[in-house]
Amino acid sequence: MGDRKIKCVVWDLDNTIWDGVLTEDKNVHLKDGVVDIIKELDKRGILQSIASKNNFTETMEKLKEFDIDEYFIYPEINWNPKSSNIKNIAKSINISLDTIAFIDDQEFELEEVKYGAKEVLTISSSELNNILDMDELNPKFITEDSKNRRMLYMTDIKRNNNEKEFEGTSEEFLSSLGLKFTVGKVKQDDLKRAEELTVRTHQLNATGYTYSYEELEDFSKLDNYEVLIAELSDKFGTYGKIGLALVEKLEKEWTLKLMLMSCRVMSRGVGSVLLNHIKNKAKEANVDLKAEFVPTDRNKIMYITYKFGGFEEVDKKDGIIYFKSDYTKCTAMPNYITFHEEI
């Protein structure tokens, strides 16, 4: 599997989380050790959901009775193929299928998912005792953001429900959130999260590069480099650390070597805020601003972000597109965002 890391584990229920089939016998019992596994995955920042062929209300009542219902976001409990349910979960969380693992006791269901959602990592429930030792389920670091990941997503669900009920335009809704975007130089405490962002972010990563803790720490200590990290919050609470940029600063030219934004904040219209901040700083310093972009099969939206942000293609070499900022084309900060720079 190489460096593959799982962001979400999707569980079957009957004879997987509990012994027995709920529709046949209401007195099912949790499998030995399964709650410890669920809690440990949660601590590691791995999200969890359910794809189970059962009656929704009855099943949720049983999960509440076992006091584990809160660990599962966007559960798909119905009679549809599990591959399509897993695709729905991936869409709801906004992650790709190759970052999902699916656990089931039935070979038929595992094969159906292999066929219908082949990127998903399938695991037999007979392997339950070995799951916590799998490389794919062991992140290098467990950060504050990863410990709180489920809570961050549950807050997102509240926001989304609030948005559905909101009567007004999209911009009016965003204005009602009280969004605050904070940017500052990366601190020692941020470096683990900074590495985690480079490893976990694919759709909104301009180069697809990943950087280790040690590399980012070295860059942060160099005079001609700056590592910036961004956080977003609103009236519901924090989204966590959601953006990262690495800027090489030469006397007459700055180059954006890395620019990424968590896909969790795509719908908040903040994708260009960090880019605009760096652009304004470069303009004030009276230097040219360039940016490297490496096309991947997932990051087209970052290409569009650069183009809309007033960057023009000036060169292409060895698979890298080089952009240069046109300072006559400036994008205004959305008026529903309060911007704060930490000095």
- Where along the chain do the CATH 3.40.50.1000 domains lie? 8-137
The CA distance from 107 to 116, in Å, is 14
307 pLDDT higher than 60: yes
**Largest Cα span, the chain:** 73
- The beta strands (E) that lie in 167-301 are given as 179-185, 225-234, 237-249, 253-261, 288-293
2 pLDDT higher than 60: no
Let me know: does 93 contact 8? Beta carbons within 8 Å: yes
Q: What is the pLDDT of residues 105-159, one digit of tens each?
A: 999 999 999 999 999 999 999 999 999 999 999 988 787 878 888 998 999 899 8
Concatenated DSSP letters for 322-336?
EEEE-TTS-PPPPTT
The CA distance from 235 to 245, in Å, is 26
**Span 144-342 CATH architecture:** 3-Layer(aba) Sandwich (3.40)
List the Cα angle 7/300/202 in 5-degree steps. Answer: 20
CATH topology of domain 8-137: Rossmann fold (3.40.50)
Distances (CA, A) of 304 to 40, 205, 261: 39, 12, 14
Q: What is the pLDDT of residues 210-223, one digit of tens each?
A: 788 899 999 999 99
pLDDT above 70 as % of the chain: 97
Q: What is the pLDDT of residue 192?
A: 84
List the Cα angle 174/180/181 in 5-degree steps. Answer: 110
Distances (CA, A) of 163 to 73, 87, 242: 18, 23, 21
The CA distance from 208 to 91, in Å, is 21
Question: 71 versus 195: which is more confidently predicted?
Answer: 71
Entry pTM = 0.79
Record the tokens describing residue 117, joined without a space. Answer: 């959602």
Q: What is the pLDDT of residues 3-54, one digit of tens each?
A: 688 999 999 999 999 999 999 999 999 999 999 999 999 999 999 999 999 9
Kind of pairing between the strands at 225-234 and 237-249: antiparallel
- Where along the chain do the CATH 3.40.630.30 domains lie? 144-342
